[in-house]
């Protein structure tokens, strides 16, 4: 009997760190891990020995604090660390519940210890089997929800145990609290499934909206091409007729009349601004990048903001380590900042009849799959004093009603990619945003 109690005692203390290592995918046999186990064991022993009823909660909090202290530099994901730490603690509390039940239902201590030991072994087996899936959930978009539900379930069990201490032990109270525990478990499961379904619906709705938006952009681009083709055909037809009529002026030697007639017919037949609306966009073959560029060019065109887009080389593929969605976010923020400033200048110029003017220049370039460059320049207000370091701070903005997280978000995204470089410059009334992704330079540095 003493042998089983000793084994159970060791298993109960080793269960938490081993489960944590498995879920968090941390190697247990190394100095840091062993030091964590020893420190956790000593702190838990002291807390439970001297703090009595509050010892469990205090030791668990110390245990979680030690997890972040020892492994934060290795796993910089608070939800993985917290979730991997809380899961075994929940099973520890469930063991306490089993002990409470067995104290009422049986006087056979040996039988009770054997059942608890088997429970630990069974749970540990399932943790090993499901550790990858648990870690995947803790790394997913739902990690906040999962950790929140785990904390809720942990607190619920802890409250049940603490309340039960002050109530007279009986079969009835044991049955009631056991039922409460089962209900809490069911609630957590149902809540998680319900939240997942809600999120799935929101994601599907967002995908549908994005799909409709992309379809609208494609339809607009297709219509632009069709209209341009019709304009070119009409221009060709009219131009041939004009050339025939110009022969009469030429034969009479009236050169000025020829030039005037040619300019008049050209301007009336073609709209230069409309024809250059999506100039060079056909050189961008990455759909997500092409989509955001078309959207923003259309916005500038509709706002009557003068702009010029250049893409001389073909952008066929982005660098492999770059998430397209991150790049779309960066380009979207850069475009939005340029458009917002241009709108302010345009409104001020119309209101005050000033000589300031708005203009945006955009360039995209790629010489291969390992390289991508993007630059956008926009005119800024003459009285606008811009600090290139201050504009990257979170919360900074020059626009009323905006929270100013744009360029700060770009800085955070830039930090994710060592091969990405973003720079800002203000010179001669222009604000310049320049981004380059060059994996070749990164490879050379690593070599």
Query: Is 70 exceeded by the pLDDT of residue 355?
Result: yes
Say what the pLDDT of residue 53 is.
Answer: 64
Residue 364 β-bridge partners: 374
Query: Is 90 exceeded by the pLDDT of residue 167?
Result: no
**Average pLDDT of 139-152?**
86
Say what the pLDDT of residue 266 is.
Answer: 57
For the stretch 29-77, pLDDT in tens is: 788 888 988 888 888 878 777 776 666 788 888 889 999 999 988 888 8
Residue 80 CB partners (closer than 8 Å, separation 6+): 24, 135, 138, 139, 143
Are 261 and 252 in contact by the 8 Å Cβ rule? The answer is no
**Average pLDDT of 304-310?**
93
Are 258 and 247 in contact by the 8 Å Cβ rule? The answer is no
- The gap from C-alpha 162 to its chain's centroid, in whole angstroms, comes to 40
Strands 307-310 and 360-368: parallel
Dihedral angle computed from the Cα positions of residues 30, 31, 37 and 40, in that order, rounded to the nearest 10 degrees: -150
Query: Is 60 exceeded by the pLDDT of residue 159?
Result: yes
Residue 216 CB partners (closer than 8 Å, separation 6+): none
Are 279 and 224 in contact by the 8 Å Cβ rule? The answer is no
- The gap from C-alpha 200 to its chain's centroid, in whole angstroms, comes to 17
**Average pLDDT of 306-319?**
91
Say what the pLDDT of residue 214 is.
Answer: 67
Sort 84 into a burial class: Cβ within 10 Å, 0-12 / 13-18 / 19+.
buried
| Per-residue CA distances from 369 to 109, 317, 365, 373, 421 (Å) | 69, 5, 11, 11, 17
Rounded Cα gap, residues 101 and 400, in angstroms = 63
Of 159, 140, 154, residue with least CA distance to 188: 154
Rounded Cα gap, residues 69 and 144, in angstroms = 21
Residue 155 CB partners (closer than 8 Å, separation 6+): none
Query: Is 80 exceeded by the pLDDT of residue 284?
Result: yes
Are 80 and 139 in contact by the 8 Å Cβ rule? The answer is yes
Q: What is the mean pLDDT of the chain?
A: 78
**Average pLDDT of 281-302?**
87
Rounded Cα gap, residues 176 and 169, in angstroms = 11
For the stretch 317-352, pLDDT in tens is: 998 888 888 898 899 999 999 999 999 999 888 888
Query: Is 80 exceeded by the pLDDT of residue 304?
Result: yes
Query: What DSSP designation does 281 have?
Result: G
Rounded Cα gap, residues 23 and 44, in angstroms = 21
Sort 231 into a burial class: Cβ within 10 Å, 0-12 / 13-18 / 19+.
middle
Range from 25-39, 196-210, 353-367, 429-443 carrying the lowest mean pLDDT:
196-210
Q: How confident is the model at residue 403 (pLDDT cuts 50, 70, 90)?
A: very low
For the stretch 65-110, pLDDT in tens is: 999 999 988 888 899 999 999 998 888 888 877 776 666 445 555 6
Domains and CATH numbers, the chain: 2-169 (no CATH), 198-275 (no CATH), 278-446 (3.30.565.10)
- Secondary structure (DSSP) of 287-338: HHHHHHHHHHHHHHHHTT--EEEE--S-B----TTS-HHHHHHHHHHHHHHH
Say what the pLDDT of residue 323 is.
Answer: 87
Greater pLDDT, 173 or 191: 191
Measure the N-to-C terminal CA separation of the chain; round to a whole number of Å: 62
Can you give the length of the chain in residues?
A: 447
Rounded Cα gap, residues 374 and 387, in angstroms = 21
Rounded Cα gap, residues 165 and 160, in angstroms = 9
Say what the pLDDT of residue 170 is.
Answer: 57
| Per-residue CA distances from 138 to 145, 225, 326, 447 (Å) | 9, 47, 22, 35
Rounded Cα gap, residues 169 and 319, in angstroms = 66
For the stretch 113-143, pLDDT in tens is: 777 778 888 888 888 888 888 888 888 878 8
Query: Is 90 exceeded by the pLDDT of residue 396?
Result: no
Greater pLDDT, 261 or 168: 261
User: What pTM was computed for the model?
Assistant: 0.48
Q: How confident is the model at residue 405 (pLDDT cuts 50, 70, 90)?
A: very low
Of 337, 305, 326, residue with least CA distance to 404: 337
Q: Is 361 helix (H, G, I), strand (E, B) or coil?
A: strand
């Amino acid at each position: 009997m003493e042998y089983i109690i000793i084994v159970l005692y060791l298993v109960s203390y080793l269960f938490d760190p081993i489960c944590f290592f498995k879920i968090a995918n941390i190697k247990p046999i190394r100095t840091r891990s062993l030091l964590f186990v020893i420190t956790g064991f000593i702190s838990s022993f002291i807390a439970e020995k001297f703090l009595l009823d509050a010892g469990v909660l205090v030791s668990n909090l110390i245990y979680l604090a030690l997890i972040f202290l020892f492994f934060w530099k290795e796993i910089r994901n608070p939800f993985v660390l917290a979730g991997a730490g809380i899961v075994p603690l929940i099973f520890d509390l469930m063991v306490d519940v089993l002990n409470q039940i067995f104290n009422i239902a049986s006087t056979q201590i040996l039988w009770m210890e054997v059942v608890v030991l088997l429970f630990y072994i069974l749970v540990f087996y399932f943790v090993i089997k499901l550790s990858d899936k648990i870690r995947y959930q803790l790394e997913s978009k739902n990690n906040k929800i999962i950790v929140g539900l785990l904390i809720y379930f942990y607190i619920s069990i802890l409250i049940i145990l603490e309340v039960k201490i002050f109530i007279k032990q009986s079969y009835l109270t044991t049955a009631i609290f056991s039922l409460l525990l089962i209900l809490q478990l069911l609630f957590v499961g149902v809540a998680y499934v319900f939240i997942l379904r809600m999120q799935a619906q929101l994601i599907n709705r967002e995908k549908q909206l994005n799909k409709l938006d992309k379809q609208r952009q494609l339809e607009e681009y297709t219509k632009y091409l069709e209209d341009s083709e019709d304009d070119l055909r009409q221009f060709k037809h009219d131009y041939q007729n004009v050339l025939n009529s110009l022969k009469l002026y030429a034969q009479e030697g009236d050169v000025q009349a020829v030039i005037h007639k040619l300019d008049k017919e050209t301007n009336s037949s073609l709209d230069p601004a409309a024809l250059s609306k999506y100039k060079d966009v056909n050189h961008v073959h990455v759909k997500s990048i092409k989509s955001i560029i078309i959207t923003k060019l259309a916005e500038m065109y509709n706002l009557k903001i003068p702009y010029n887009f250049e893409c001389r080389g073909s952008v066929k593929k982005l660098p492999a380590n770059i998430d397209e969605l991150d790049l779309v976010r960066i380009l979207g923020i850069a475009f939005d900042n340029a458009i917002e400033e241009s709108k302010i200048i345009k409104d001020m110029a119309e209101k005050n009849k000033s000589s300031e003017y708005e203009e945006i220049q955009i360039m995209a370039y790629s010489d291969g799959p390992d390289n991508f460059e993007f630059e956008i320049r926009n005119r800024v207000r003459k009285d606008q004093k811009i600090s290139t370091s201050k504009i990257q701070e979170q919360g900074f903005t020059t626009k009323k009603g905006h929270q100013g997280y744009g360029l700060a978000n770009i800085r955070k995204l830039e930090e994710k990619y060592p091969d990405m470089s973003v720079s800002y410059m203000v010179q001669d009334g222009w604000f310049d945003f320049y981004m380059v992704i060059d994996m070749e330079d990164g490879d050379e540095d690593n070599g």
